[in-house]
């Protein structure tokens, strides 16, 4: 099986290093020449919760040759059109493109490469870009019971999904869950991204600064609740994995229940506390972020189904203001959030 990772950024570098080291070599494809050069010259370096350097084969998109049987799509959604346009000539009739991105990209990807080629997955681990060729793994793989959820858009359990799961299982002892509820898994990842990636980027800080602030941490359950309620209105039930109970996070009515929800978010992100969201890294580099595909997607679905999403709307506004130079990414932006009073 000829396989590739399209998008060898923080996450793609880590995945490529582990797959290759554990007996399943993949091409790492990236449009950033310095990244490709570093990967080829020094190998894929992983630091943080794992320490390894693995020789890999990295390519610019224009250097791809032949047909790939399996491609893990890990570019930012803002780069989807250019990446998929470059990839399309290298897909066969039975090729499989597995999205491992933020947000809910499957239907848009399927429109480009064909629904017959598109499956989806959600990563339950994190990584941060350090420098070309090196990424930091921000949580211990041994602490996760599930590293990936993977499934067909329509929920069928197929041979190709089993094959994709087997490949991803090379990362760490087969911690891959085949799901018949891909959209539920996707919305769960979206909830986690909205709670921390968007919020921490709006506040210009690491995850630790968010969970160490009572007010910032309290914003998390409100962001999560809006995601869950929008998902339910759209007909999706979020999956529960790695000890997360989405109903208990989102369905709070009292101050005591809010504290319970805050506890879930704190425990989930404490092991990742040193991480800086890739969205914030994009802001610091003056790059366009995925805000419209993450918190903005929740806002759009809220408008579509009549679900209020004021916390996600505010995160979108702050990030957009930062992108357009009207505001800075700083912790003082927390003052813009108004928490309801609960009894």
- The whole-model pTM stands at 0.89
Give the tens place of pLDDT for each residue, 76-96.
Answer: 999 999 999 999 999 999 999
CA separation for the pair 196, 4 (Å, rounded): 29
**Residue ranges of the domains in the chain?**
3-180, 184-336
> If you average pLDDT over every residue of the chain, what do you get?
94
CA separation for the pair 137, 48 (Å, rounded): 5
Q: What is the dihedral of CA 85, 86, 92, 96, to 10 degrees?
A: -80
Give the tens place of pLDDT for each residue, 45-66.
Answer: 999 999 999 999 999 999 999 9
Q: Of 167, 201, 286, 187, which is closest to residue 236 (Cα–Cα)?
A: 187
CATH value of 184-336 in 1.10.10.10, 1.10.1040.10, 3.20.20.370, 3.40.50.720: 1.10.1040.10
Give the tens place of pLDDT for each residue, 119-166.
Answer: 999 998 989 899 999 999 988 888 888 899 999 999 999 999 999 999
Give first-to-last CA distance, the chain, whole Å: 58
User: Which pLDDT does position 343 carry in this prediction?
Assistant: 78
Q: Of 181, 187, 191, 138, which is closest to residue 311 (Cα–Cα)?
A: 191
Percent of the chain with pLDDT over 90: 85
Give the relative orientation of helices 214-233 and 295-305 as an angle to the nearest 10 degrees.
50
User: Which pLDDT does position 241 carry in this prediction?
Assistant: 64
- Give every CB contact of residue 72 below 8 A, 6+ residues apart in sequence: 3, 4, 5, 6, 12, 15, 26, 98, 100, 121
pLDDT surpassing 70 at residue 243: no
User: Which pLDDT does position 129 carry in this prediction?
Assistant: 92
Q: Of 236, 168, 133, which is closest to residue 22 (Cα–Cα)?
A: 168
pLDDT surpassing 80 at residue 313: yes
CA distances from 221 to 140, 262, 311 (A): 25, 6, 10
Higher pLDDT, residue 137 or 271: 137
Q: Of 82, 125, 80, which is closest to residue 106 (Cα–Cα)?
A: 80
Looking at domain 3-180, its CATH architecture is: 3-Layer(aba) Sandwich (3.40)
CA distances from 296 to 43, 151, 210, 241 (A): 36, 24, 20, 24
């Amino acid at each position: 099986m000829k396989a590739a990772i399209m998008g060898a950024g923080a996450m793609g570098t880590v995945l490529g290093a582990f797959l290759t080291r554990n007996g399943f070599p993949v091409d790492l494809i990236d449009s950033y020449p310095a990244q490709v050069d570093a990967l080829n010259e020094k190998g894929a370096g992983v630091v943080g919760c794992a320490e390894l350097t693995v020789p890999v084969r990295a390519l610019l998109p224009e250097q791809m040759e032949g047909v790939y049987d399996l491609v893990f799509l890990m570019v930012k959604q803002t780069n989807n059109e250019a990446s998929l346009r470059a990839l399309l000539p290298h897909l066969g009739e039975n090729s499989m493109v597995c999205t491992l991105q933020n947000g809910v990209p499957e239907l848009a990807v399927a429109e480009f490469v064909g629904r017959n080629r598109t499956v989806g997955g959600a990563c339950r681990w994190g990584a941060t870009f350090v420098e070309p060729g090196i990424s930091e793994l921000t949580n211990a793989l041994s602490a996760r019971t599930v590293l990936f959820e993977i499934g067909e858009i329509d929920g069928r359990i197929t041979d190709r999904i089993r094959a994709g799961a087997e490949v991803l299982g090379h990362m760490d002892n087969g911690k891959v869950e085949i799901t018949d509820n891909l959209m539920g898994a996707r919305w769960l990842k979206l909830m986690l991204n909205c709670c921390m990636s968007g919020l921490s980027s709006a506040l210009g800080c690491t995850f630790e600064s968010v969970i160490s602030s009572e007010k910032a941490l309290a914003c998390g359950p409100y962001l999560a609740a809006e995601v869950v309620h929008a998902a339910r209105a759209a007909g999706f039930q979020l999956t529960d994995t790695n000890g997360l109970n989405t109903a208990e996070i989102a369905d709070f009515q009292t101050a005591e229940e809010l504290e319970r929800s805050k506890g879930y978010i704190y425990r989930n992100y404490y092991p990742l506390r040193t991480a800086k969201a890739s969205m914030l890294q994009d802001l610091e580099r003056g790059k366009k972020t995925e805000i419209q595909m993450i918190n903005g997607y929740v806002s759009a679905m809220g408008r579509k189904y009549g679900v209020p999403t004021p916390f996600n709307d505010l995160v979108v506004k702050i990030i957009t203001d930062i992108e357009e130079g009207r505001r800075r990414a700083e912790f003082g932006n927390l003052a813009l959030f108004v928490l309801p009073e609960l009894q």
